[in-house]
Amino acid sequence: MTAPPADPYRTFITDVRPRTPNGRAPKAAVGDPVEVRAHLVRDGHGILAAQLRWRRLDGTRSKWAAVPMVVDDHGHARGRFEPEAPGMYEFEVDAWEDRFATWRRDLRLRVAAGEDVATELLDGADLLERILPEVRKGRRSRVRDAIEQLRATSCGEGVRVAAGLDDAVAEVVVGLPDPEDRTTSGPHPLRVDRELAVRGAWYELFPRSEGGFVEGARIWDRLERIAEAGFDVLYLPPIHPIGVTNRKGPGNTLVAGPDDVGSPWAIGGPDGGHTDVDPSLGTLEDVRRFIRRANELGVEVALDHALQCSPDHPWVRDHPEWFQVRSDGSIRYAENPPKKYQDIHPINFWPPKDSDRVALWKACRGILEFWIEQGIRVFRVDNPHTKPLAYWEWVIRDIQRRHPDVVFLAEAFTDPAMMHALAEIGFSQSYTYFTWRTSKWELVEYGEELAHGEAAGWFRPNLWPNTPDILSGPLRNGSPGQFAIRAVLAATMAPSWGIYSGYELCENQPASPDNEEYLHSEKYELKVRDWSPTEQPGSLWALIARLNEIRRAHPAMWRMWSLRFHHVEDDRLIAYSHRRDDDVVMVVVNLAPDELVESTLHVDPGSLGLPPEGPYLARDELTGEEWTWEGPTAYVKLGPDERVAHVLSLVRHHGP
């Protein structure tokens, strides 16, 4: 037989949220209110109370802050706090029986029933006396006065009852934990990120196609234009030395000529590995100078973090134990049958010796640390789903503990469970299936999942219509209208979006009818584009810049949870809104941009904070046109000769 527990809980606290399925840290952003909920269960009929406590885990563990929680009659508790800096936090819920509130409730009932309450009045005085040490010193006098009146037998019962039921006294002691009866649930982890982890516009280009980082190269002018177009992040594929052994030729051919540049993802050669710069791009100081200039322009440089090695990487020579050695002594190259990557060796994150694993993991962390020292704070991680989740959980937590502003984007086009797991264990945001969601029902279903699904509290989407690997759906041999609508959808459905260089020029030639890659893929050859058409009719650059401008101007579009879909009678049109207080944005997109479509949009103005019957103004942020709408329906017309989409701000009509 065992003895009863020495310190048993009095209140059962369950269903504490926010949480992830496996107890890892859900995510929040600096300045966003964190809504905490819990369910309190306890024997008896007492009134339950709770408080929310939180603190930042900054190495020294800051002091707890606390606020009372609202608890309803069914034990559901709600509270909120706003984190002020990025980093790891913890929060907990304290619960107890509010004996004084319970006493006041019962006193009212006893008085109403005509009972003798002399003893209950003395009990109330004793309760307040036990609470008194928890009251702030400047407010204790009112509580002392109430205690004296409750015990003053010389006063009439009505005066003593009034002292016990004084709302001013209850206000002083509300939310104060009972030191003799407090149950704590937690602590529960919370990851708080800076804004760029939630919201940003990304642009990807290959530095080698733009002349590298030396001063005077085309990339410096491109950087200026990218900043002017409102992009927050310039993402660069690997900039490291490229292997020679098994180097790929144009179109992923197995034989490279003497002048072929190879794939930048075949990292490592005679000039170094992951912490070196390919000499054809310039020096490390050139890269540092480029990063500094980008930051001056309000753009952050994101670097590709690809944990794989060419056969010429120094690690292959110095640490063969970090790779998979075959029975014939050769090192296995990467493959995803039937695809083969003869120019790459995958890293074996679980070598036979644990000491080798520890050394490898530290070396991989060292790559991140090196580039953080150079000024990089954003990493796009290549194929994270092919590396152990345990590694990513450890390294991301360790890096962000010392550098809480670092952002990790997961390039994981894989099974949903793996994508969600990567987000749960620490990745700031992720690529998504948006690239392949093209029909109306697919977009609505996926948008609802991203905005309101089970993983919405920790899976942050980044929508890309294209990547260097993927030219899919309507973009394959697609018209400029198709490129325009995919840009509008990506830029307005989610807080983060991105495009790969050449999208604005509507590059649309696939490698073959069955291959999603580009013809003349930039992954294997230089692609020197004529950027002058970006300022001419037919280019999408002005549209893309305007979309980024709209995104920055409207806080309604800054969070995924604001997305709501609306009914349009013609299924060739899709409509959705974002709302934050009085800022309301309605987007209507023609999914058949080469056709003229007219239809009726059902708005539901009441849910958007607009007058249900009265007039309100619809202003097209793309063109500046304005219309006055009334009631729950509106007429829309989209087509190739006019426009492919509306991005409308809806406001109460203040005109005559």
| Residue (of 199, 194, 200, 205) closest to 235 by Cα position | 205
Please report, in angstroms and rounded to a whole number, the separation of the first and last CA atoms in the chain: 83
Do 584 and 650 contact (CB within 8 A), yes or no?
yes
Give bridge partners of residue 325 from the DSSP assignment.
Answer: 331
Question: Is 382 assigned a catalytic role?
Answer: yes
The catalytic residue among 92, 411, 504, 583 is 411
d(CA 457, CA 598) in angstroms, rounded, equals 37
Task: Output the CA–CA distances (angstroms, integers) from residue 320 to 350, 386, 490, in the order listed.
Answer: 13, 19, 43
The catalytic residue among 382, 516, 517, 525 is 382
Q: Is 402 helix (H, G, I), strand (E, B) or coil?
A: helix
Q: What are phi and psi of 460, to 5 degrees?
A: -105, 120
Do 379 and 303 contact (CB within 8 A), yes or no?
yes
Neighbours of 143 (CB within 10 A): 18
Neighbours of 45 (CB within 10 A): 9
Do 315 and 322 contact (CB within 8 A), yes or no?
yes
d(CA 242, CA 249) in angstroms, rounded, equals 13
d(CA 307, CA 386) in angstroms, rounded, equals 10
Q: Which residue has the tokens 């490279």?
A: 256
Question: What are 197's two structure tokens?
Answer: 């982890």
Question: What are 172's two structure tokens?
Answer: 């002083």
Report residue 243 CA to chain centroid gap. Answer: 35
Do 477 and 508 contact (CB within 8 A), yes or no?
yes
Report residue 565 CA to chain centroid gap. Answer: 21
Question: Is 300 assigned a catalytic role?
Answer: no
Q: What are phi and psi of 59, to 5 degrees?
A: 100, -35
d(CA 276, CA 271) in angstroms, rounded, equals 7
Task: Output the CA–CA distances (angstroms, integers) from residue 38 to 11, 19, 180, 329, 361, in the order listed.
Answer: 12, 11, 21, 57, 38
Print the SS3 string covering 254-279. Answer: CCCCCCCCCCCCCECECCECCCCCCH
Active site residues: 382, 411
